[in-house]
Structure 1
Amino acid sequence: MTIQLIMNAGEFHEPSVQIDSLDDVAAQVREGMGSLFKMPIANILDVLQNLSRALVRDPEVKKIEGIAFLSNWLRKDNLLRMIEINLGQTDFLDSFVENHHKLIRAFPRGVVCHWIAGNVPTLGLFSLFQSMLTKNGNIVRVPESSLPSVIPILKLLSTLKGDPATGQDLLRSVALVHFPSSDLRSNENMSKCADARVVWGGKEAVDAITNLPRATHCEDVVFGPKYSFAVIDREALESEKMGRLLRNLATDSVLFEQTACSSPHVVFAETDWNGALRLADRLAEEFRRLSSIIPKRDFEMGSAIKIINRRAEYALSPDKAMLAPKENDWSILVDNETRLEEPIQSRTVFMKPVKSVMETIPLVTKNVQTIGNGILNRQKAKEFAEGVMYRGAARVVPLGQMHIHDSPWDGILFLSRLVRWNALTPAG
């Protein structure tokens, strides 16, 4: 099979160029990386800050799902904070820094190859821009379904002017490609080009890529399949903040049609059965409101069948309840079983009453990524977070912030994995 070369060295190919190997592309990426390495991190941050503003001003690009999250994440103050969390200070990216009688510097790993999942269209850009910040070259394999989102954003970046750095300067060390995930030869070729491999996806995809041949020095960073849910305690339910919390929960559930690893599928609330039904009614109002603001994406027949089957199960069971419109716009399924449910997606939320949100701690495994936090008391929230994080959860964040890409992510300080730490001990 052939590889579609969509963009390299800052040039977009329309139509894409068909190539048999990525070897020459990797060489071009390394050449462009040399210029990026010499660029001060302040200049890179300025270009990405300009992109942050441009994303929400461009009339077409701003329609892309998740663009507000990406724009907010690209703000200079956020990227600076992220660098400091990961590396300590930005100076390490530009020069040697004296540290305990040694001179320490963070060097790029080289060519970073990204395999991007197709569940969130802009996901690959969070990966790419962090690799740019650490001055690596990049080859990004983008799913076909994400190309209509990724290409316009990178084209917009290519138009940004600056002094002294431009968007084109950043893109000279980037190649954008596509080939079928089943194309073993192309996957192997890309893997052998990598000084670091970044893999996003489900278990099958992750296993397939990580088992490919690679260089012995190659660093692997894996963001595998994850599960997320939400909790709301009694104090929050009885507070004046409950309306806002429910709006935030509904928004977290609607965005990306629950295909993101950070999407909530189950809500545990400190209440009884009747309280859970009342809460479901209020959440249903928020879903109705959002249906007109964020129209539902088309979904596969398999998803529709799952929704219909679960709705029927809950509607016919005497110890369960179901709230939903006639259409498949959204569904709220209420029961008393304290467990995590298999995701249905497509705006389907399970509502479960519990005596205490602490009862959910034993449910957590290392497969849990994000827990939406509806616990108002800070000490109680800390005790809950300690319990779930000890068992494997990666993040506990306020409702409404479940999809905000942050650092660490999945328990990984990503930028720190994209650099090599080198030391110079002066002779004199």
Structure 2
Amino acid sequence: MMADFDSLIPGAPLPEALRDVPPLPAFAEASLAFVEALSARLIRMPEARTYPELTALGFWMRRANLGRLRSNMKARAGAALLVPRGTVLHIAPSNVDTIFVYSWFLSLLTGNRNIVRLSSKPSPQADLLVGAIAELLADPAHSEIAQRTLLVRYAADDSITAGFSAVCDVRVIWGGNNTVEQIRRLPIAPTATEVAFANKYSLALIGSARWLEADASQKTAWIEAFYNDAYWFDQMACSSPRLVLWLGDTGQVQCASADFWARFEQYLESNQQRFGDADYVNKLVAEDTLAIEANVSICPTSSNDLVRVWLDEPALHDTLHCGAGLFFEAALPTLDAMRPLLNRTVQTLSYAGVETQVLRDFVAVTPLAGIDRIVPFGHALDFAPVWDGFDLLRVFMREISVA
């Protein structure tokens, strides 16, 4: 397989050779030191500062946060005896440049060997990351990580993916539904396991009464947080809000919505970079298609960086959504009116102007068909070990019982 893929780390082991290298203990000092070193490098790199997602990644990898991850894992595991599963194959997505590092590092920290297939889509963020990783792995101080790590790129090719799949103990698929379906056709070892993260759709919830009561500084903070959630990855991250739900009576919703979007448009004028030409065309097609298929109103905006489509009836319309600043909107008289929307494709509910306890009570009343996480505005893109309902630290480890 050597001629069929590009190894991004000079001197990296062949996939067949990985199985001969024993796993490390969970949260071994070698793993912690490597992750901390990459964190320091990203935080210091001037080029990385132009990409907020790289800055966020650098802070996530700090030693203090790694210590919290370790403590939380121990607390959740209790007396269970956990060991690494072996070799983990990560299929990274093309829409979020940094997700491969989070997935890889959670597996790395739990002691596993790793094969990471990066997207072939051009990405300056991914190139910066790979360059920094390659430099660190060339340092003899990180040789224990280097001999357990293979980062690769190759054009979609089932035979290459099948070869990597044959040597893995866990296969992690990050991508759209088509990617998941395609790769699931390829076998893994009978003793291996798999977890897939397919297309998901996320919502924003705003309490109209609380918005109207808030002072200007609070509104500005919510606006900035909402922008970061939605626009960092051109609204294409699974956790970026696409449907905005306004909680309250008709009068409150109308006033709050008008004020929110007026402030948001002002924020866009000084903070938003232009989308690609295709994005603007795709949004026009999406709103025109929706206008034909459902009862909607196209809300006027001062810039095509923001497109608003008001829905008379709350609905996901997920197959029509193309990102790039397209927001569907609807009113909710009560939280219970949201329940019919919540199927398994709904991932994140970000919120502002709603009490956390109210949301906890909403979840506790009866099992929800959808929603994997509920977070305040500004935290939709925060990565956590529990993702889409899977505790990845446990996915990457197996339990040995001693009677």
Flag the 1:291–1:153 CA change in 2: closer, same or farther, 3 A: farther
TM-score normalised by structure 1 residue count: 0.81
SS of the residue 1:106 aligns to = strand
> What does the per-residue CA deviation read over 1:298-344, in whole Å, with 9 as the maximum and x for residues that have no partner?
36x3x433312355578999962413235x32212223322223323
Deviations 1:63-112 (A, max 9, x none): 345112212221223223233334438xx9xxxx9x5xxxx642221111
Pairing of 1:175-324 with structure 2 (within 5 A): 175-181=150-156, 183-240=157-214, 241-272=218-249, 275-278=252-255, 279-298=257-276, 301=278, 303-311=279-287, 320-324=297-301
Gaps of 5+ in 2: none
Matched position secondary structure for 1:385: helix
In the alignment, is the contact (CA less than 8 A) between 1:55 and 1:61 conserved in 2?
yes
Gap change, CA 1:40 and 1:383, over 3 Å in 2: closer
Q: Which amino acid aligns with 2:336?
A: M
Deviations 1:125-183 (A, max 9, x none): 1111111101111111111125643342243244459xx984454233111112222x1
Who is 2:113 aligned against? 137
- Compared with structure 1, are the counterparts of its residues 389 and 229 closer, same or farther at alpha carbon in structure 2 (3 Å cutoff)? farther
Match of 1:83 in 2: 70
For residues 106 and 62 of structure 1, the distance between their equivalents in structure 2, rounded to whole angstroms, comes to 38
Q: Which moved more, 1:286-295 or 1:372-381?
A: 286-295
Letter in 1 for 2:198: G
Query: Match of 1:51?
Result: 38
- For the 8 Å contact 1:113–1:191, the answer to whether it is kept is yes
The CA distance in 1 between the partners of 2:219 and 2:366, in whole Å, is 23
- Provide the C-alpha distance between the structure 2 equivalents of 1:422 and 1:318, rounded to a whole number of angstroms: 56
Q: Separation in 2 of the partners of 1:360 and 1:38?
A: 44
State the 1:259 CA deviation: 0.6
In 1, Cα distance between equivalents of 2:269 and 2:43: 22
Does the residue aligned with 2:114 lie in a helix, a strand or coil? strand
Letter in 2 for 1:5: D
Q: 1:309 to 1:213 in 2, by over 3 A?
A: closer
Q: Is the 8 A contact 1:246 1:286 kept in 2?
A: yes
Q: For residue 27 of structure 1, what is the aligned residue in structure 2?
A: 16
Q: Does the 8 Å CA contact 1:233/1:357 hold for their aligned counterparts?
A: no
Partner SS for 1:393: coil
Kindly state the Cα deviation for residue 277 of structure 1 after the two structures are TM-superposed: 4.7
Name the CA distance, whole Å, in 1 between partners of 2:243 and 2:122. Answer: 27
Amino acid in the other structure paired with 1:180: A
The secondary structure found in structure 2 opposite 1:66 is: helix
Given the alignment, which residue of 325, 334, 339 partners 1:356? 334
Closer, same or farther in 2 for the Cα pair 1:318/1:379, shift >3 Å? closer
Structure 1 Cα separation of the partners of residues 253 and 317 of structure 2: 17
Q: Does structure 2 retain, via aligned residues, the 8 Å contact 1:229–1:372?
A: yes
**SS of the counterpart of 2:233?**
helix
CA distance in 1, matches of 2:341, 2:59: 33
2:6 matched residue in structure 1: 5
Distance 2:343 2:135 in 1: 45
Question: What is the CA–CA distance in structure 2 between the aligned matches of 1:315 and 1:222, rounded to whole Å?
Answer: 34
Distance 2:83 2:296 in 1: 59
Q: CA deviation at 1:27?
A: 3.1
Change (3 A) 1:173 1:43: closer
Are 1:296 and 1:329, in contact at CA under 8 Å, matched by a contact in 2? yes
How far does the alpha carbon of each residue in 1:220-273 deviate from its partner, in whole angstroms, 9 at most, with x for none? 121111110011124422332444223322321111011111010011112455
Aligned equivalent of 1:330? 306
Contact 1:112 1:137 in 2 (8 A): yes
Change (3 A) 1:108 1:146: farther
Contact (CA 8 Å) 2:30, 2:144: kept in 1 or not?
no
Cα deviation digits, residues 170-225 of structure 1 (max 9, x gap): 233111112222x1211211211211101111112111112212111111121111
Cα deviation digits, residues 46-74 of structure 1 (max 9, x gap) = 33223223212201233345112212221
User: What CA distance in whole angstroms lies between the structure 2 residues aligned with 1:239 and 1:167?
Assistant: 54
Counterpart residue identity of residue 66, structure 1 = E
Amino acid at match of 1:393: I
- Check whether the contact 1:262–1:370 (CA below 8 A) recurs between aligned residues: yes
| Deviation readout 1:327-379 (Å, 9 max, x if unpaired) | x3221222332222332310111222221233112210111110012243233
Say which of 50, 68, 78 aligns to 1:63: 50
- Write the letter of the residue equivalent to 2:129: I
1:370 aligns with 2:348: yes
Question: Which residues of 2 match residues 61-140 of structure 1 at below 5 A?
Answer: 61-64=48-51, 66-88=53-75, 99=79, 105-140=81-116
Conserved in 1, the CA contact under 8 Å of 2:89 and 2:116?
yes
SS of equivalent to 1:305 = helix
**Structure 2: which amino acid aligns with 1:397?**
V
Whole-Å Cα distance in 2 between the matches of residues 366 and 238 of structure 1?
A: 32
Q: Distance in 1 between matches of 2:185 and 2:358?
A: 42
The aligned counterpart of 2:377 is 399
- Match of 1:113, SS? strand
Count residues with an aligned counterpart. Answer: 395
Contact map agreement 1:284 1:323 (CA 8 A) in 2: no
SS in 2 for 1:420: strand
In 2, the alpha carbon distance for the partners of 1:155 and 1:251 equals 26
Counterpart position of 1:15? none
Aligned mates of 2:94, 2:159 — CA distance in 1: 21
The answer for the alignment partner of 2:24 in structure 1 is 37
Match of 1:21 in 2: none
Kept in 1, the 8 Å contact 2:25–2:110? The answer is: no
- 8 A contact 1:111–1:138 mirrored in 2: yes
CA, structure 1 residues 311+296, in 2 after alignment: closer, same or farther (shift >3 Å)?
same
CA positional deviation for 1:291: 5.0
Q: In structure 2, how many angstroms separate the alpha carbons of the residues matched to 1:48 and 1:378?
A: 33
